[in-house]
C-alpha cells in the first residue's frame, strides 16, 4: 500500500488522557473521475481503520469515497498500561497497511 504516520506519546501517567494521531498517504480515488484519456479512473479507497491498544480494539472508522486523500484521524484514549498502540488500514482491494507505537505508562 503506502506510507503511514502515527503519533503516540512515548510516556504517560496511568489514567491520563492521551491524544493519538494517525495519517496514511493514499490517493483515495473515488471512481467518479475521468482520466486524461477519457477513461474512468478506478475506485481505490481506504475503507477501514482499526486501532488496538494492548490487544483490545479502542477505535475504528469506516471511510467512504467522500474522504479526502491522505486521511488523517485523531482521537483520545486513557493510558491504562504500557503496551502497543497498533493501527491497521484496509483498502477496498483487501490490502492492509499496519503501523504501531509503544507507550510506557507509569
- CATH label of the domain that carries residue 77: 2.60.40.10
Full residue range of the structural domain in which residue 68 is found = 4-32+41-105
The pLDDT of residue 3: 87
The pLDDT of residue 37: 93
- Cell numbers for 43: 475506485
φ, ψ (nearest 5 deg) of residue 89: -100, 140
This prediction's pTM: 0.89
Alpha helices for the chain (secondary structure H): none
For the chain, what is the domain count? 1
How would you class 57 by CB atoms within 10 Å of its CB: exposed for 0-12, middle for 13-18, buried for 19 or more? exposed
Q: Which of 83, 87, 88 is nearest to 103 (CA)?
A: 83
φ, ψ (nearest 5 deg) of residue 24: -125, 135
pLDDT tens digits, one per residue of 48-91: 999 999 999 999 999 998 899 999 999 999 999 999 999 999 99
Amino acid at each position: 500500500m503506502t506510507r503511514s504516520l502515527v503519533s503516540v506519546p512515548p510516556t504517560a501517567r496511568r489514567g491520563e488522557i492521551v491524544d493519538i494521531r494517525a495519517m496514511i498517504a493514499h490517493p483515495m480515488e473515488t471512481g467518479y473521475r475521468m482520466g486524461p484519456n477519457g477513461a474512468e479512473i478506478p475506485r481505490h479507497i481506504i475503507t477501514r481503520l482499526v486501532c488496538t491498544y494492548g490487544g483490545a480494539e479502542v477505535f475504528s472508522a469506516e471511510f467512504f469515497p467522500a474522504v479526502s486523500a491522505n486521511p488523517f484521524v485523531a482521537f483520545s484514549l486513557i493510558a491504562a498500561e504500557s503496551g502497543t498502540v497498533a493501527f491497521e488500514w484496509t483498502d477496498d482491494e483487501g490490502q492492509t497497511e499496519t503501523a504501531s507505537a509503544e507507550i510506557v505508562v507509569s
